[in-house]
Amino acid sequence: MTKAPIAVALDGPDLDTIRRWSRAVAPHVSTLKVGLETYLRDGAAAVDVVSASDCRLFLDLKLHDIPNTVAGAARSIAHFAPTYLTVHALGGADMITAAANELPNTRVTAVTILTSMDDVALRSIGIHDTALDAAVRLAKLAVGAGARAIVCSPQEVAAIRAVVSDDVHLITPGVRPAGSDAGDQKRIATPQQAIADGADLVVIGRPITGAADPAAAAASIGASL
């Protein structure tokens, strides 16, 4: 891809808004991400927005259920042919394998630890590893189970890049250009730092879609990479 390694999160209030964002940023970024909120509201119509562009489809549904159910869910979206489909690594190896077996041409993408969580939040749900240790452990498990991409915070990407092969794509949400509001993200870094540490793709939402000119914001961040 010659466009910037950015996945723009199409988390808009309605289909017209995400269509407008898509048209604005598609010339500048490689990937458009349809998340759970947008998919549950707009369904296939949201995917059609991405299909109308020349960007890759990142279907961010974060599946997490028993293996049989996740396999069925993966089959139900196979016709969209997403480049990436997310599942929660915490669902375990059998669940990840079930999704990967159903979608051999998609990079099943294992989410390690959500970027909205820190070590205190992890302890509150019984995970006593640091976020770094937990993310590395889950990444290794997921790749061994058939995941071909990993979602991790920019603070863990270098450690995970050191333990997985180069053909595994590392995707980092929680990136914020210098001076941007962190919002509900806790483990963050700049997009430049994430790429330098080994990320293949950075996920950016509000710093682009919330800008007065999303196209200019996407182009500016892309040029900085």
Residue type at 50 in one-letter notation: V
Radius of gyration of the chain (CA): 16
Count Cβ atoms within 10 A of the Cβ of residue 20 and give its class: 0-12 exposed, 13-18 middle, 19 or more buried: middle
Please report how many Cα atoms fall inside a 13 Å half-sphere around the Cα of residue 82, on the Cβ side.
29
* Lookup result for tokens 């910037």: 4
The pTM of the whole model exceeds 0.85: yes
CB-CB contact of 81 with 103 (8 Å): no
Q: What angle do CA 16, 26, 207 make, to 5 degrees?
A: 75
Residues marked active site are found at 62
d(CA 10, CA 55): 13
d(CA 173, CA 62): 13
Count Cβ atoms within 10 A of the Cβ of residue 179 and give its class: 0-12 exposed, 13-18 middle, 19 or more buried: exposed
What stretches of the chain adopt beta strand conformation (E)? 4-9, 29-35, 56-63, 84-88, 107-111, 149-151, 169-172, 201-204
Q: What is the pLDDT along the chain (225 residues), one digit of tens a residue?
A: 589 999 999 999 999 999 999 999 999 999 999 999 999 999 999 999 999 999 999 999 999 999 999 999 999 999 999 999 999 999 999 999 999 999 999 999 999 999 888 899 999 999 999 999 999 999 999 999 999 999 999 889 999 999 999 999 999 987 766 555 555 455 567 889 899 999 999 999 999 999 999 999 999 999 988
